Amino acid sequence: MKTIKPNTRRNFLLAASLGGAGAAAAVATGRAKPKVAAAEPAAEKGDGYRATPHILKYYKTTEV
């Protein structure tokens, strides 16, 4: 019976995982960027977080 070295299996699994990661990276970088619709208004500077009524209501439910 032929003896299989454990390193052979490890090397195969390592090569298979690296090959899969490389293929995924190649596919991810080859995609075209989605086009942004011109109808969407641009976010103005300072138009970030706002404490709206539903957020304030949530905060009240988390008080101990």
The two three-digit tokens of residue 34, written as one number: 């989605």
In a domain, 9, yes or no: yes
Q: Is the pLDDT score of 57 beyond 90?
A: yes
| Entry pTM | 0.32
pLDDT per position as a tens digit, 13-54: 888 887 887 777 777 776 655 555 555 455 566 667 888 999
In a domain, 37, yes or no: no
In a domain, 21, yes or no: yes
Outline where DSSP puts E strands in the chain: none
* pLDDT at residue 54, rounded to an integer: 93
* pLDDT at residue 61, rounded to an integer: 93
Distant-in-sequence contacts of 54-59, Cβ < 8 A, 24+ apart: none
- Count of domains observed in the chain: 1
Distance CA 18, CA 15 (A): 5
| Residue-number span of the structural domain to which 8 is assigned | 1-32
The two three-digit tokens of residue 60, written as one number: 């009240």
In a domain, 17, yes or no: yes
* pLDDT at residue 51, rounded to an integer: 86
